[in-house]
Structure 1
Amino acid sequence: MIEGFSTYSGGEFLVFYALLVIGAIIAGVWLPGFLRADGENRRVDDRYDMAYLAGGARRVTETVLAQLLGTGSLEAAGGNKVRVAHQQGGENALENDLLRKVTDFGLTEAQRTVGTHIDEIQERLARTRLLLDQSERLQLRIVSVLPYLAVLAVGWYRRSAGIAEGEPVGYLTGLMILAAILGSIRFIKLDPRTRGGLAAVAEGKAISSRLKSAPTGPELGFGVALFGTAILAGTPFSQLHAMRQAASGDGGGYSSDGGDSSSSDGGGCGGGCGGCGG
């Protein structure tokens, strides 16, 4: 069959190869979903576990800020920042770390603090089989790029034959580069949730759909964990949504939140899920 590729005219092979690239895209999405581990079916009641499952590390940061704003422990400070109103009242170490801050801070600073707790959240979710373990993630990454590797092998063979015959191979090279880029993205971007993790988020959203439009103060954290800061638009806590829009950038953190990046508080951010997509 491989030998037959070299007999195609240039135009015929480009059409064929474009279809192969499309097929690789479909297979790269379908195979990980089909082979994803079942995990455990369990309800998630912890707001920060749910936040990580639903939106990754940044959602955890937004959730803790929403929770503390809703309970009155934090208050808006202007300039895309918040300040501690009451140092007491944190329910866990994650919340208490933010409540120890003595100056106004924004999302970038908050995520640096929250980042010290992300590994703990990931380990807990993997232990309860709501997240894939590292070996399972690697297997899915490899499986998801196999279709692209096959397409690149076919393209390399036909390109070599074309060069030997003195044919132009620019368009084919461009399609191969596109396939390589898409394959790289597919390898990097992996939803690390098990089927149980996906089901837990879906169940949480179904059970708590009211939080999407009418959360009370103490419910803000779980509402943001499930649905993001968009539920705060038009509420007294809408500044957090405005902060997210102003500060949100690509990658695992926030690009800017008003100039607090010089703070010395340490802590990196754990990998996201995109839902958890990382």
Structure 2
Amino acid sequence: MNSQLIQQGRAAYRAGDFSAAAQMLSAAKTPDEIMGEADHLCGNALMHLGMYAEAAEAYAAALNDGTYGKRGALLTNRGKALAAVGDYTTAAQAFSAATQDASYATPFKAYLGLGNALFQAGDYANAGTAFRQAAIDGANPAPAAALGELGRCFLKLGRPADAVETYRTAIDFAGPRDDTRALNAGMGQALSAAGRPSDALDAFNAATADGIYQLTPEQADELARVHDSLAALSAQTAMATAPAPAMDAPAVDPLDPTGATGQFMPDPSDTGFFTLSESEMVQQ
């Protein structure tokens, strides 16, 4: 174990030189030597560098040091590294193990990671359970974000009414660290799925009002469906309220208004009725 390299690695990490920190901390010990702190810092530096697979290995090495502690944090970080490379099954196992560490001060981080891993794996029901646990953790400074993720799970499970209520609760309890724009966009999706296009449009407008939030492709598609639904409703309303077309009134003989005889008063231009002499009238 090279103590000098470990000290230099710590200094480089604090200075933000993650490449140098990772190199020094990796070189400070052989693979069979155990030092949780060195491997933990090395894993963090590798995460900053986007070297997620290597970071996962460093965290696994740190977990071998039973005297180091910080098991919950190490497992959570390892879960994040594994999720970053798409290994959601193993990531979920790491996050789940982290939640079992009673000494872990911020278990909501593990529950959030677990929810995301399960969501990516298509296990929406258990993902929702994990997000709910993250939301009710008193140590979580931004519980509304976890509720927003729970709302996404309800949508995937075909429960839009529950999603609407979840997003409404999230918006009501949103704090300074919560993104209400994203929550309103999720609310728009939920309201649209619940068959409430007008309310959905209001929610989408609230999400994009300041021009900062960009709808996800899925949300943009839902907004397009909202516009189509409202246009169809508008067309139906216009047809329902349009006056009936006027019909030409049939010709009626004022001497036979009921049309019982089927005869109409003669037109003088056709019959010469009004130009007949008295004798001709008598004769006819």
TM-score by length of structure 1 reads 0.20
**Greater percentage in helix:** 2
Please identify the structure whose Cα radius of gyration is greater. 2
TM-score (norm 2): 0.20
